[in-house]
Amino acid sequence: MAKERLYLFDTTLRDGAQTNGVDFTLADKLAIAKMLDELGIDYIEGGYPGANPTDSEFFGSKHDYRGRFTAFGMTRRPGRSASNDPGLAALLDAQADAICFVAKSWDYHVRVALETTPEENLASIRDSVRAAKARGREVLLDCEHFFDGYKANPEFALACAKTAYDEGARWVVLCDTNGGTLPHEVERIVTDVCRAIPGTHVGMHAHNDTEQAVANSFAAVRAGARQIQGTLNGLGERCGNANLVSIIPTLKLKSDYADRFEIGVSDAALKKLAQISHALDERLNRAPDRHAPYVGESAFATKAGIHASAIMKDPATYEHVAPERVGNKRKVLVSEQAGKSNVLAELDRIGLKVNKDDPRIGRLLEVVKERETLGYAYEAADASFELLARRTLGAVPDYFDVTQFDVTVEHRYNANGERVTVAMAVVKVKVGDESTISAAEGNGPVNALDQALRKDLGKYQKYIEGLRLSDFRVRILNSGTAAVTRVLIESEDENGERWTTIGVSPNIIDASFQALMDSVVFKLVKSNAPA
Ligand SMILES: [Zn+2]
């Protein structure tokens, strides 16, 4: 049986740009649009031409995306003709394949916010759709506050949608603008709408204010809608929009949807999903959500020993889908409750071949437990665990030795009479028979230490050029009589690979130093640097 086509519409660059703290540059927009296009999104909404310089520039030149490049804007203003509305003119002039208009569909908003009549609102929708069609554009209408509007006045809400459809709009999109509608309500209302307008012309735009934007999108599809709007990583105002990064794998991998529907995302593109999700976070300078469904670092992580041994035998026992299909990785956490099977599974994952009766496995397990009582947490520091395992098995060369380091923090007045804090570090490193001394300043003691350590590693320097710290977390632990500090450092290399290392000490500089050292050594191991 032929599958039905379901369309995906991405609004990361328009609605997603409303996220608190997000401010896309033109370069960001170009890069994100490219990622969306590679993923196979059908509609890429670029923004609001005429509303700000970045969006005007973005729409100023022709794009050759596979997906339909879409401009967003308002229908003509009430009381004006379509030909005498500068906002509408900018929208019609934009270099776009499609135009997505937004219009009110709640009579209360028409009266109070727009201060016009229901008839004029319908006329504005009709004229705008007509004008865009005349310019050869595919047309979509976002019906703002559709669900709240429908509850208050179903005839009027439906009339707004129907007017656009009758005038030739390809899609009418039902927006849950306030995000408070629940899945059973969405299903009921979309079912009603699909009696008047074919579902192949109906879309859903959900916001996440009750954390059900994804569920609401699926409810709309079950009721007949055939377009889903959403954003990467659920970006968006307040609690965000429907998260396409969760929706796409569900459509591709869950048989209720996969057997019935076809989407523009190929199996090969799906394997890049985790990478795309993380690349967006990287661009926004945010740490990726570890617990994000499908793509988070913990999405396929297992802790307890009994589960780990079952996963080794058959991963399907504890996984709802195979992590590789979305570009993620299985991970068995090594923790205080670590059983031998966890350790074996983890060694297997990192590619260390060891006989399961090897006495060194028992020793490694003992060392892990011992260090965890001191405050180490290897489940959060994969790279430090790998180094510990490799060292216990005698497989890490002594690349270099830091024979001494010194960090000073100075607080003083600068030439302008402002109070400034300056940190400086000096590090003595021995590589083979050669000793070097490096000094560096930093915005803090750990930054200075990091800069100095990485300034001159002799023959190993070339391996660490692309290494950088992407996150630094500090926790004070109260173990026994004295407080100790646990430092977790996340590093990233030139290939976008990330790893986490750990240090524990009563002294925060010393804890940071351990984590920094592990990060550098891990990079050398990973790069197969010669001893
Ligand atoms: Zn929205």
**pLDDT tens readout for residues 153-169:** 999 999 999 999 999 99
**Separation CA 525–CA 531 (nearest Å):** 10
The reported pTM is: 0.75
**C-alpha 5 – ligand 1 centre gap (Å):** 23
Number of Cβ within a 10 Å radius of residue 153: 16
Measured in Å, residue 306 CA sits from the centre of ligand 1 at: 44
Q: Is the pLDDT of residue 281 over 90?
A: no
pLDDT of residue 477: 81
pLDDT band at 74 (very low <50, low <70, confident <90, very high): very high
Taking 60 as the threshold, does the pLDDT of residue 336 lie above it? no
> Of 221-230, 251-260, 493-502, where does mean pLDDT reach its minimum?
493-502
pLDDT of residue 334: 64
CA distance 319 to 60: 47
The pLDDT value recorded for residue 359 is 87
pLDDT at 333 exceeding the cut of 80: no
Average pLDDT, the chain: 92
Band of pLDDT at residue 382, cut at 50, 70 and 90? confident
- Listed range (4-8, 57-61, 377-381) with the worst mean pLDDT: 377-381
Q: What DSSP string describes 48-107?
A: -TTTSHHHHHHTTS----SSEEEEEEEPPPTTS-GGG-HHHHHHHHSS-SEEEEEEE--H
User: What average pLDDT score do residues 269-284 get?
Assistant: 91
Mean pLDDT of 285-299: 89
Nearest alpha carbon to residue 166 among 137, 212, 133:
133
CB 295 within 8 A of CB 271: no
**Nearest by Cα to 440 from 428, 449, 430:** 449
The Å distance, Cα 175 to ligand 1 centre, comes to 7
Cα 79 to middle of ligand 1, angstroms = 26
More confident residue, 121 or 366: 121
CA of 15 to the centre of ligand 1 (A): 5
- 240 CA → ligand 1 middle, Å: 9
What distance in angstroms lies between residue 16's CA and the mean position of ligand 1's atoms?
Answer: 8
Task: Give me the pLDDT at residue 315, please.
Answer: 77
Q: Which two tokens stand for residue 344?
A: 């074996």
- In percent, how much of the chain has pLDDT > 90? 69
Say what the pLDDT of residue 304 is. Answer: 62
pLDDT at 337 (0 to 100): 54
Write down the H helix ranges in 427-507: 445-453, 461-464
Convert the pLDDT of each residue in 117-127 to its tens digit. 999 999 999 99
Q: Give the residue, 394 or 38, on which the prediction is more confident.
A: 38
For residue 102, the CA-to-ligand 1 centroid distance in Å is 10
Question: How many CB atoms neighbour CB 73 within 10 A?
Answer: 23
Q: Is the model's pLDDT at 306 over the cut of 70?
A: no
Those residues whose C-beta lies under 8 Å from the C-beta of residue 415, and which sit 6 or more positions away, are none
Instruction: Say whether pLDDT at 285 is over 80.
Output: no
How far apart are the CA of 524 and the centre of ligand 1, in A? 46
Kindly state the average pLDDT of the residues 189-210. 98
Range of weakest confidence among 190-199, 227-236, 389-398, 515-524: 389-398
CA distance 159 to 5: 26
What is the Å distance from ligand 1's center to 100 Cα? 12
Q: Do residues 40 and 266 lie in contact, with contact meaning Cβ atoms separated by under 8 Å?
A: yes
pLDDT at 358: 87
pLDDT tens across 449-481, in order? 999 999 999 999 999 999 998 888 888 887 556
